[in-house]
A and B are shown apart, each in its own frame.
Chain A
Amino acid sequence: MGLLTDPSAGQSKIIKILMKYYSKLCIILYLGGIIAFCVLAYRPFNSETYFSENALLPGLVRSEYRDGNTPHTYYRELLDEMEKYESKLPYSWLLAKFKQIGLDTYTHNFTLNYPLGKSQKFTGKNVYGILRAARAASTESVVLSVPYRPPLSIHETTAPAIAIMLAFAKFANKEKYWAKDIIFLVTEHEQLGMQAWLEAYHGISGGKEGTLNAGDMRGRAGAIQAAINLELHSIEIGEIDIKIEGLNGQLPNLDLFNLATRMCAKEGVSHTFKNRIPRRYTDPLKDWKYTFQTMLSMVATQATGIPNGNHGLFYRFGIQALTLEGFANSKDRLGFITIGRILEGTFRSLNNLLERFHQSFFFYLLPSSDRYVSIGLYIPTIAALAATLFIKAYAKWCLLHDEEENKENKDELDKPQTIDETGDHNPITRESFTLKQWEEKLKTDTTQLNQKSKVHLGHICAVFVISHLVGFGLKELPTYFAKIGVQYGYTTESSIYIGLALSTFLIILIPIFVKKPSYSSMIVLDIFALLEMGNLLICIAMYNISLAMFCGVLYIPFALLLSPTRCRLCSIVQKTCWILLHPFVLATITVFTYTFFVFWNELVDQILYKALSATQQAIMFSIVDSMVYGNWLFSVACTIMTSNWICFWYMCQYRPMIEEITKKTETSKQKVD
């Protein structure tokens, strides 16, 4: 602040130019940032992926897996078993198979105390077998996991994956070259089982304490270096999709992704990223369009912060992981042997690792499975976006400062006259005003106004702090909403939704009636809010560029334009836009539009009903995610984005007096001169 209040600060030439062109600069930076981000998908602006880790030795070894019968036998047996257990893991069969193969076999029990509504309990059981590396100490391990899906599950079956996992375990157990233990893991209840297993393995809790009771486990195999999550939906695979987006937008090390693509390519399996085959067009525009769509698809998944597979939960524990999802297609029909060879190659490479993945990129965007955009390239684009906020804040500060300076100068000029005036201060009636007297009155009034337009820092700080407390409250409230709602017979999701809707309504309503001290105070609050938003964007960009980009593109233009205004129309437009941007409203709108796009051919009332329930569920799931898995999206949306929103909202409620506006424009004109 010392530098900002330095009286000489406003005098520099650069500052003057900045003050003159800041609005244009903001527009250029905003549009430039967005365009640059889009252009990153264009081939010349990104680079080809490469292996950075020497130790991996990817694909050097000749695959020896050539047993197609064993997985088929396992698969048939498993299908028979699955008929007996419609919604549960066939534990006994799996345990028996693991033991038969010769692995150290264990089970792991977990309980979920459902955090919302009625206190319900769900239990689950994972099964895992550890292949002990015969010639090495059990200090490191790699994981091969499959989420088990019972016949009643809404997701596609993964039974072929379990069959090939068992066959691979049988094959691997005979080999003597393992330097790391291999954990073969079958989890129950999708991501919940995986999260519970990881928490139990590491003895910590990722979400809210007491929600997910992961329990303990008897068998461990040292630090997990990497994990492959396998989901095969058919015994004959046409293509493999590699999934990487994890919790809170975290990604695995690019070397692991490269390893997976290399292994698929080596075995002749067509691999896709976001279900899109790496394609190359000669027409640059077409080429860009294709890669940009792939990148956008990744951005959309990453921005939600929800893992799109069981791999996404490993990242919190510093374990690099990805999901290989195999689909059947009409083109290729590759059997178990190919998958077994891919697994063999991948695990032998992982076996070669000497330390955790640390070489290649952890932060990147993929416009195609063989090209990447590194953090060094995408950070400037979001920085350009955030810079507009800082520039605007600085410009506002300078304007305010100049105003005060001018005011002081004016006071000095006015002072002798007012003293003269006070000398014969007599009550003047309205009728007897001469032109000169009018002038005098105007002068004294404006000085009073000057007094009034002082910056009330205490007030601003109070608003700032209270808005953030509201944000924190909003984060904690849903649990209570659910409890109250359930007592009155509402479902958990609708009681949370109604509760949040009510609080949003209050949040919108209350600032309108709170006293707003002065125009300059509002400007200072605006500066605070702009700075906070800028910082928020940069911070989010550090861990989840997609979310930051999404927020930046959406919020920045409105945050920049938002200011107290006398123009009624402007004010109404401003306020409507800003209400639409309230995180809660925004979430509702997004899900509604999405539902409309997906079910566009159904009846309107049906769509509305579907959209409403989808919104309710989306919000409830984001809360449950934050409690069980430690997803940050809901917390960030409540504690920072909503709080920041309130500051802007409060600020734009102020209706300035004409003098304040005119004076401001005058001063700014003076400066330009």
Chain B
Amino acid sequence: MKDLALHILDILQNSVTAGATLVKLQIEEIPSKDEYLVKLIDNGKGMDAEMVQQVTDPFFTTRTTRKVGLGLPLLKQNAERTGGSMTIQSEPGKGTEVDVKFIFSHIDRLPTGDISGTLALTVSSYPAIDFIYTHNTPDGTFIFDTFEIKETLGDLPINNPQVIAFMKDLISDNLKEIKAS
């Protein structure tokens, strides 16, 4: 993966496949502690302890179309390359939380990439799922909540091309405002 946004696009699919109805993505930039934290929390079907152990194994996947599953292993590798880490907590029936820590100043920390595009595409592909995205920087906080968007839209579908374009602009504009890296 070339950037963090692509990783997020990839990992969000896990939550979708797990049948989540609410997915939270939190990004926290803490330059003072030299940390860049990414958190994904869903209310999907969760995993038992054994499966949590296995998911970072590249040869583990729940798919039947192929024998490898590289989403989480690649993300873990990229986090560890910066001296950071990835931890997964999950409980069957409750949901899953993936915590990724990158070292902020490390040269190998992936560029953030097109977060706004990633969110807009995912949100529009799964109209039945709600997403809450929070981005924290020392300059402020931005919250993107699909509850609000859907409420404003009424019966206009969230996958209308112009709504997708709007969501992209909304996110990228506000991220610029809080000086997201």
On whether the two chains bind one another, the answer is no
Q: Which residues of A contact B (CB under 8 A)?
A: none
